[in-house]
């Protein structure tokens, strides 16, 4: 994979740009939300682990039956590894995912009374959970604001010159400094909006700048290859 080009970003201008594009994107995508289907924090946790290197659409197909079969942390932790692998095979990397899910749910039982923790520290103690997954859980299961730096957010943040960093953890902290934590729906909503915009308009290979509602605020609208 080609190394990301170094860009120069003025944090003050980036913050101003966020305030201009945030309400426009929210009006454009009024139904923006997490794309994974879930009914409780445990289901979202499992779905997010399965979503690594897999489309949300595929995960939703798999979990439709999966969540009827496995309902409690003990169901996952006690599942036969081979059976669980077969159940999630179509999501890819199924051996590692099955291992992480079993270990993760055992930790929930051992350390958290069978409940999904609602803190970054607690979530990061679970197998298969990094900051991105933790922020998905915090924002969508517990209503705690978090910036989710998936591939769309990383790509669009660079095209919009919101951060010089392509590293997801560094980018997360950069965006926390310039995106309102509560206004317009806050960090969680801003993440959803960039994901929706990345899927619909600002695509990786061919961004549709002619039909982009925030093109006039985008430094790379006339040169999509710049970032």
Whole-angstrom distance, CA of residue 227 vs CA of residue 221: 10
Directed axis angle between helix 41-50 and helix 56-69, to 10°? 130
Residue 6 buriedness (CB in 10 A; 0-12 / 13-18 / 19+): exposed
What 3-state class would DSSP assign to 25? helix
The residue length of the chain stands at: 227
Six-digit token string for 216: 């006039």
**170 part of the active site:** no
The set of residues, in sequence order, having a beta carbon less than 8 Å from that of 167 and lying 6+ positions away, is: none
**132 part of the active site:** yes
What 3-state class would DSSP assign to 80? coil
Whole-angstrom distance, CA of residue 202 vs CA of residue 197: 6
Instruction: Say what the alpha-carbon torsion angle 190, 191, 195, 196 is, to the nearest 10 degrees.
Output: -40
Q: Which of 78, 150, 167, 203 is catalytic?
A: 150
Report in angstroms the alpha-carbon separations of 121 from 27, 59, 116, 134: 34, 26, 12, 9
Whole-angstrom distance, CA of residue 180 vs CA of residue 18: 9
Q: Which of 87, 102, 132, 174 is catalytic?
A: 132
Instruction: Count other C-beta atoms under 10 Å from residue 183's C-beta.
Output: 12
What positions carry a catalytic annotation? Answer: 132, 150
């Amino acid at each position: 994979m080609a190394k990301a080009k170094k860009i120069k970003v003025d944090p003050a201008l980036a913050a101003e740009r966020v305030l201009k594009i945030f309400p426009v994107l929210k009006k454009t995508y009024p139904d923006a939300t997490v794309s994974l289907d879930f009914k409780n924090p445990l289901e979202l946790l499992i779905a997010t682990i399965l979503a690594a290197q897999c489309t949300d659409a595929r995960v939703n197909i798999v979990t439709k039956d999966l969540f009827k079969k496995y309902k409690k942390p003990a169901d996952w932790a006690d599942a036969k590894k081979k059976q669980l692998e077969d159940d999630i095979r179509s999501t890819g990397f199924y051996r590692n995912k099955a291992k992480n899910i079993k270990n993760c749910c055992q930790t929930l039982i051992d350390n958290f009374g069978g409940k999904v923790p609602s803190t970054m520290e607690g979530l990061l103690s679970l197998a298969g959970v990094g900051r991105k997954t933790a922020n998905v859980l915090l924002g969508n299961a517990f209503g705690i604001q978090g910036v989710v730096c998936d591939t769309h957010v990383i790509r669009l943040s660079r095209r919009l010159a919101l951060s010089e960093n392509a590293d997801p953890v560094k980018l997360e902290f950069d965006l926390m400094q310039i995106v309102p934590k509560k206004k317009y729906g806050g960090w969680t909503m801003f993440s959803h909006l960039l994901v929706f915009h990345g899927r619909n308009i600002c695509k990786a290979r061919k961004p549709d700048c002619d039909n982009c509602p925030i093109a006039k605020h985008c430094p790379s609208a006339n040169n999509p290859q710049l970032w």
